[in-house]
Amino acid sequence: MSQAIITEQLRREFRVDKEGKRRETFVALDGVNLEVNRGEIFGLLGPNGAGKTTLIKILSTLLSPTSGRAVVGGFDVTSDPYSVRRIINMVSGGEHSGYGILTVRENLWLFSQLYGIPNKIALERIDRLMDIVGLSDRARTKVHKLSTGQRQKMNFIRGFISDPEILFLDEPTLGLDVETSRVIRRYIREWVDDRPDRTVLLTTHYMAEADQLCDRLAIVNQGKILACDTPSALKRRVGQDSVLEIEISAQAGQLQPLAELSAQRGVRRVAISSNGGGTLTHRLSVIVDGDGAIPEVLQFLAQRGAIVTGFKKTEPTLEDVFLELVGRRLTGENGSQVASKG
Amino acid sequence: MKTDLKWHLRVNVKAAIARAYVRVVGTNREFSWIFFDTLLPLLGTAAYVYVYRAMDAPEEYVGFVLLGGAMTAYWMNVLWNMASNFYFERQGWNLELYFIAPISRMAILAGMAIGGMFMTTIRAGSLLVLGSMLFNVRFNVSSVPLVVLAFVLTLVALYGLGMLFSSLFLMYGREAWHTSNLLQEPVYLLSGFYFPVRALGFYIAIAASIIPLTLGMDAVRQLVFSHLHFSLFPVQVEIAGLGVLGAGLLYAAAVALDRMERAAKQEGRLTLRWQ
């Protein structure tokens, strides 16, 4: 079986209390069909409340689906949960698992025992993983004395201790600094590449993380999968447009003729920004239909005496994909929610 | 199939040991228990000792009270550390990790019970030794093996009750917490912690025998104060009753846990922390 995870018309409803004791049905997952291949890192990308965590809870046997079917590693999550549990593990970002009175190493040992791992192997794995994520110096520190980031590192290690076939990572880098996030992303990639039967299902609302890490990803919103493909294929859906960020050095009087750039073949839009005053440095944002228009743009600028001091070509991002599919932005750069309409 | 059975056995034993480790090692890192769990209960027990002495009751009643005081530690452990543990584990994120692991939930509860019993035995033993020295209590043990048997069966039945409660806590959260609060004091009375349970009247004492401590304490008291006659039933009957209670409660706990887990998965109560 080449699929690690299959869901068919998966639906999950919750009965929620409303004012006046009236109960309403909230649909967290609405007919989700998904196939995750063995050996891939599959991402679920969506805003808070999209249904990502609900899906992971069902796949990890913590929650029953209202209807539909979910198969993990060839085992049905409803009828054969014990077989599923033998091959999975899960890490949730921001979780506070473990016992504060025990040390980091003791806590990790404890959780390794839930999978029957022999002590020697468990302790070797713990030490190696602590070394990788930079937690070795805290091995004998009681968990209640750890910082949030250190605790998250410990949780991350816990997920890998049982060497699962399928690992669910729910916002694994939440609350971690940039360097640690980078180390963790690199380790996830190496871990999957190391053995072809390992699979990771990852939820995130960090666009860069999804783009960098996932072989394929699904964009989820309001319990539905809106699109599912590789990050590059998803971005191609938005269009073939390229955005050129050009920095030029030019006198203020030379700017007016540059506006004619928009009339050039292949150029769709031009925006010029200056710092004002008598500054010589200006920034041009030029949207072109394809890469073929780039030489003509540069030639146009040179002919009008503008000196190109910087040039950057950008592709459509997953943020643009999300914007296109959902109609609003998902996150800011730092992961905070942006409520503006697209 | 054989390998699978062996694997299941190994993983569940390891899980139980690991969970017991938290109780044993964790508790020993907080030495405040010596004060809170030994010296403070001794004060409470001493009050009853002085009441009996003021009434010129037979000196053996001091031993009664001391034994009751020691057993109180087990009841408190079952009520607050055993029954409510799944509730606290859920608040602390650990419950999800136990429930996605390929282990029986009974293994986790067994680990809690073993760790709890071990630690509580140290506390109860300390209280008993200290109290015996302080109040000069004399025991007249008729059969050590029977005392051990009655005591072990009492603990099995008592912690079986704790396991049963834990699944109720899992399902009903804070509501069950209130129930535990409600149970605490009446059980002190109905089990005869500080007096022979026969004093309640025969029929009330029989009804109270559904609480494992009632039969357990009566049997142990009969065996360690063998020259006194205050029993509810003969020791053999009480030991048999404890055996039946223990087996029944453990079975009921396993069934309830299975049903509660299924219901909790349907209602999302395993993952919702605020309930």
Q: Does residue B221 surpass a pLDDT of 70?
A: yes
d(CA B105, CA B163): 10
Give the distance from residue B164's alpha carbon to the nearest chain A alpha carbon, in angstroms.
Answer: 21
pLDDT digits (tens, 9 = 90+) for B42-62: 888 888 899 989 998 888 888
The pair phi, psi for residue A200, each rounded to 5°, is: -125, 130
Q: Look at chain B and report how many structural domains it folds into.
A: 1
Name the closest residue on chain A to residue B4, using Cα atoms.
A83
> Does residue B273 belong to any structural domain of this protein?
no
Instruction: Say whether A96 and B25 touch across the interface (CB within 8 A).
Output: no
Mutation target vs A (from B11, B13, B14; most A CBs, 10 A cutoff): B14
d(CA B188, CA A265): 91
pTM for this one?
0.81
| Per-residue tokens: A23 | 């109960």
pLDDT at B33: 76
Name the closest residue on chain A to residue B14, using Cα atoms.
A113
> Does residue B95 belong to any structural domain of this protein?
yes
> Does residue B274 belong to any structural domain of this protein?
no
Q: Does residue B151 surpass a pLDDT of 90?
A: yes
Highest mean pLDDT pick, A86-95, B222-231, B238-247, B264-273: B238-247
Instruction: Say whether B271 and A63 touch across the interface (CB within 8 A).
Output: yes
Residue with tokens 């530690």: B73
**When comparing pLDDT for B116 and A258, which is higher?**
B116
pLDDT at B274: 45
Name the closest residue on chain B to residue A65, using Cα atoms.
B266
- Terminal Cα-to-Cα distance of chain B (whole angstroms): 40
Name the closest residue on chain B to residue A12, using Cα atoms.
B266
> Does residue B275 belong to any structural domain of this protein?
no
d(CA B229, CA A142): 52
Q: Which residues of B touch A90 (CB under 8 A)?
A: 96-97, 100
Q: Which residues of A touch B21 (CB under 8 A)?
A: 106, 110
Instruction: Say whether B18 and A85 touch across the interface (CB within 8 A).
Output: no
Of B11, B17, B262, the CB nearest to A115: B11
Lowest mean pLDDT among A157-161, B106-110, B267-271: B267-271
Q: Which residues of A touch B25 (CB under 8 A)?
A: 101-102, 106
* Mean pLDDT split into 10-residue runs, chain A, 342 residues: 90 79 84 95 90 94 95 96 95 85 95 95 96 92 90 93 95 85 91 93 87 92 93 78 81 75 80 68 79 86 86 79 70 35 24
ipTM field:
0.85
> Does residue B181 belong to any structural domain of this protein?
yes
Comparing C-alpha atoms, which of A331, A316, A239, A324 is closest to residue A50?
A331
Mutation target vs B (from A27, A113, A123, A165; most B CBs, 10 A cutoff): A113
Name the closest residue on chain A to residue B30, using Cα atoms.
A101
pLDDT at A136: 93
Can you give the residue range of the structural domain that contains B161? 2-267
Q: Which residues of B touch A63 (CB under 8 A)?
A: 265, 268, 270-271
Beta strands in B134-233 (DSSP E): none
Of A63, A82, A99, the CB nearest to B22: A99
> Does residue B213 belong to any structural domain of this protein?
yes
pLDDT digits (tens, 9 = 90+) for B165-183: 888 877 776 666 677 778 8
Instruction: Say whether A96 and B268 touch across the interface (CB within 8 A).
Output: no
| Per-residue tokens: B216 | 């357990």
Instruction: Say whether B93 and A96 touch across the interface (CB within 8 A).
Output: yes
pLDDT digits (tens, 9 = 90+) for B175-217: 666 777 788 888 888 888 888 888 888 899 889 888 899 999 9
Of A85, A97, A101, the CB nearest to B26: A101
SS3 category, B256: helix
Do B73 and B124 form a contact (C-beta atoms < 8 A)?
A: yes
Half-sphere exposure of A44 (CA within 13 A, CB side): 31
Q: In the sheet where A199-204 sits, what is the strand order?
A: A88-92, A166-170, A199-204, A41-45, A216-221, A224-229
Q: Which residues of A touch B266 (CB under 8 A)?
A: 64
Is A115 touching B (CB cutoff 8 A)?
yes
Of B25, B100, B262, the CB nearest to A60: B100
> Does residue B29 belong to any structural domain of this protein?
yes
Of B18, B93, B266, the CB nearest to A64: B266
> Does residue B123 belong to any structural domain of this protein?
yes
Q: Which residues of B touch A95 (CB under 8 A)?
A: 93
pLDDT at A18: 67
List A274's β-bridge partners, or say none.
A282
Helices B60-76 and B174-190, axial angle in degrees (round to 10): 170
d(CA A267, CA A18): 53
